[in-house]
């Protein structure tokens, strides 16, 4: 039995090794007042966790066929990187309505977000500095608001489309993503 005085109180500790052996003394560790002990707290509070769960539930995977159809349309069908070809009945470089432009912009932004996250997750910026430049360009164009003017909206869609295509092609070339670009 070990006896120690902690804070004016007498503490004792006894350990038993087995049924055949007698009690063995176990040292009592006195708390070091210089070592802070903070209780663990979760990284998010209840509303934050609820918001995160709702975001995960609302997440939809990128429809790459639709993205490449949109690229064909917005970039004047100068690219055809998938088997489906351009969307039927839609002329290349047609000025989309504002609602359609907003839908296209959101699809490009979602694709860019996924590509940027994939490049960052795989440390592509350290291995390939040009991918870092493409990621910065993608982040900048992704944050731009869709203008109300149809021609300016088309210009932004072309910038979003070009950033999406350039980043997808470069990540495909380096092997970070596979199967997006069909030649």
CA distance 15 to 1: 8
CA dist list (Å): 153 to 57, 86, 145, 147, 159: 30, 20, 9, 5, 10
Q: b/e map of 138-173 (b: 16 or more CB within 10 Å)?
A: beebbeeebeeeeeebbebbebbbbbbbbbbbbbbe
How many Cα atoms sit within 13 Å of 168 on the Cβ side? 26
State what percent of residues in the chain have pLDDT above 70.
74
**Which helix (H) or strand (E) segment is 74 a member of?**
helix 64-74
Average pLDDT over residues 15-26: 59
State the sign of the Cα–Cα–Cα–Cα dihedral 43, 47, 52, 53: positive
Contact 63, 46 (CB under 8 A): no
pTM above 0.85, yes or no: no
Residue 75's nearest CA partner among 170, 179, 172, 165 is 165
CA distance 5 to 22: 24
CA dist list (Å): 166 to 58, 71, 127: 28, 11, 17
The band of 93, judged by pLDDT with boundaries at 50, 70 and 90, is low
The band of 92, judged by pLDDT with boundaries at 50, 70 and 90, is very low
Residue 101's nearest CA partner among 142, 63, 158 is 158
Q: For 95-134, what is each residue's pLDDT tens digit?
A: 678 788 899 999 999 999 999 999 998 888 888 999 999 9
Q: Is the pLDDT of residue 77 over 80?
A: no
């Amino acid at each position: 039995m070990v006896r120690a005085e902690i804070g004016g109180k007498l503490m004792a500790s006894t350990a038993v090794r087995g049924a055949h052996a007698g009690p063995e003394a176990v040292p009592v560790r006195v708390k070091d007042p210089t070592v802070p002990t903070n209780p663990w707290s979760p990284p998010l509070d209840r509303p934050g966790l609820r918001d995160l769960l709702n975001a995960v539930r609302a997440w939809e995977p990128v429809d790459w066929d639709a993205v490449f159809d949109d690229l064909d349309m917005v970039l004047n069908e100068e690219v055809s990187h998938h088997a489906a070809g351009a969307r039927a009945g839609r002329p290349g470089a047609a000025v989309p309505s504002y609602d359609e432009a907003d839908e296209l912009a959101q699809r490009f932004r979602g694709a860019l977000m996924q590509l940027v996250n994939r490049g960052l997750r795989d440390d592509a910026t350290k291995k390939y500095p040009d991918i870092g430049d493409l990621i910065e360009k993608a982040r900048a164009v992704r944050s731009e608001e869709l203008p109300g003017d149809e021609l300016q909206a088309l210009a932004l869609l072309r910038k979003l489309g070009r950033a999406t295509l350039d980043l997808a092609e470069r990540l495909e070339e380096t092997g970070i993503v596979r199967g997006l670009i069909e030649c």
